[in-house]
């Protein structure tokens, strides 16, 4: 998740989290329409367990896939993606902040959630039990 940055920069920055999906959540890749041969190349190039190490594998991913699975860009865009995912049946939204300003990302997510639902992000305010986890491992 990379919010508040210019769109090309945000897309580039969010690419490594998108490379995590073929490795750990192939069903999301299928739902997002990622071709199997691309997912296979990403998995082959990304054998590690840390998505920060996924830069080379991430370069294989089409921009459209990154846009579908990562919250990258403006808060308004993120709010729309959150709403669309929940309306499509997602029962959780996970935040994996990246970069040097991770707390800014956590705050931006909270603002995007509030813009969407009119209240702070929490287990209690999420539709259908929604947010099961907000990763805030800030080092």
Q: 136 versus 74: which is more confidently predicted?
A: 74
Q: Provide mean pLDDT across the span 35-50.
A: 84
Q: Which two tokens stand for residue 128?
A: 């259908």
What digits encode the pLDDT tens for the residues 51-94?
A: 555 678 888 999 999 988 888 777 778 788 888 888 888 887 77
């Amino acid at each position: 998740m990379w919010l508040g940055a210019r769109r090309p920069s945000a897309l580039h920055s969010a690419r490594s989290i998108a490379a995590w999906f073929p490795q750990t959540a192939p069903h999301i890749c299928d739902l997002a329409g990622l071709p199997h041969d691309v997912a296979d190349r990403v998995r082959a190039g990304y054998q590690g367990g840390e998505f920060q190490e996924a830069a080379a594998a991430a370069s294989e991913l089409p921009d459209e896939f990154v846009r579908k699975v990562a919250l990258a860009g403006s808060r308004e865009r993120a709010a729309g993606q959150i709403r669309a995912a929940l309306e499509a049946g997602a029962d959780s939204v996970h935040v994996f902040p990246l970069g040097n300003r991770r707390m800014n990302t956590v705050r931006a997510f909270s603002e995007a959630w509030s813009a969407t639902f009119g209240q702070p992000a929490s287990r209690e305010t999420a539709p259908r039990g929604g947010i099961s986890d907000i990763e805030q491992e800030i080092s």
